[in-house]
Amino acid sequence: MTTMQKMLIGFTAGAILGILYAPKKGAKTRKKLRNLGTDIKEGWNNITDRVADRIEVIRDGVENLADNAIEKVESTQFDIPPTMAGRY
């Protein structure tokens, strides 16, 4: 489990306990919990979207590097100089 996941779980548990022990009516508490759940879900989705976007950028960069390397290898000619041709 990553540090981010541990922090998110700790934050969520603390928020839920704080809301449950607060002196409010049941309906208000349930509404706060529902809103908290929605906020956490949206936050998690934002984090995963950003990570996915960064992975995509890295993947594209690696593909470009690989394509450039392939082009350089294919365009390079391995000519043996005439003076060395007899040695092989």
Q: What is the per-residue pLDDT across 73-88, written as a single tens digit (0 to 9) for each? A: 777 766 556 665 555 5
In a domain? residue 84: no
Supply the range of the domain harboring residue 30: 25-75
Instruction: Give the integer Cα–Cα distance in Å for 42 and 48.
Output: 10
In a domain? residue 66: yes
Instruction: Give the integer Cα–Cα distance in Å for 40 and 12.
Output: 8
Q: What is the Cα Rg of the chain in Å?
A: 29
The pLDDT score that the predictor gives to residue 80 is 56
Contacts of 16 by beta carbon, 8 Å cutoff, 6+ apart: 33, 36
Query: Residue 66: is its pLDDT beyond 70?
Result: yes
In a domain? residue 7: no
Query: Residue 23: is its pLDDT beyond 90?
Result: no
In a domain? residue 44: yes
Comparison of pLDDT for 71 and 66, the residue scoring more: 66
The pLDDT score that the predictor gives to residue 53 is 93
Check: pTM over 0.75? Answer yes or no.
no
Instruction: Give the integer Cα–Cα distance in Å for 88 and 85.
Output: 6
